[in-house]
């Protein structure tokens, strides 16, 4: 019996934009790199990914920022912090739902 990947099943996922870096599009996408600039008043930040690209994100009102596994404010994030961002697309905008940072 051949298994059909979920993304190819009728009515399944895969109707949205393709997932980046092999992550499943239905469950949000992830990217990681270094925080570049943070604008907490605008609920926005940018990061440089590991491949040299810069990405701008808006944090949703229900989004979370975790620093060393403790919930913090976006204003606690610092330029240069190593971050992993879980996000979705709204039109062409990247909207972050979770930002994780681990500091030494």
Give residue-wise pLDDT tens across range 49-61: 888 899 999 999 9
As given in the structure block, the two tokens for residue 91 are 């039109």
Domain total in the chain: 1
pLDDT tens digit sequence for 77-87: 999 999 999 99
Range of the domain at 57: 28-101
Reported as a single tens digit per residue, the pLDDT across 62-76 is 999 999 999 999 999
Instruction: Read off the pTM.
Output: 0.73
Looking at residue 95, its pLDDT comes to 97
Task: For residue 86, tell me if it sits in a domain.
Answer: yes
Domain of residue 60, CATH code = 2.40.50.320
In this model, does residue 102 exceed pLDDT 80?
yes
Q: Do the domain assignments include residue 8?
A: no
Report residue 57 as tokens. Answer: 């994100």
Domain assignment present for residue 13? The answer is no
């Amino acid at each position: 019996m051949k298994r059909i990947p979920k993304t190819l099943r009728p009515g399944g996922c895969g109707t949205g934009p393709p997932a980046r870096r092999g992550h499943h599009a239905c469950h949000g996408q992830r990217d990681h790199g270094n925080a570049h600039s943070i604008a907490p008043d605008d609920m926005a930040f940018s990061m440089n990914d590991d491949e040299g690209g810069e990405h701008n994100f808006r944090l949703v009102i229900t989004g979370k920022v975790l620093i060393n596994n403790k919930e913090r404010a976006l204003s606690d994030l610092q330029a240069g912090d190593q971050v992993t961002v879980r996000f979705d697309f709204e039109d062409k905008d990247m909207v972050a739902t979770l930002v994780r940072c681990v500091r030494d």
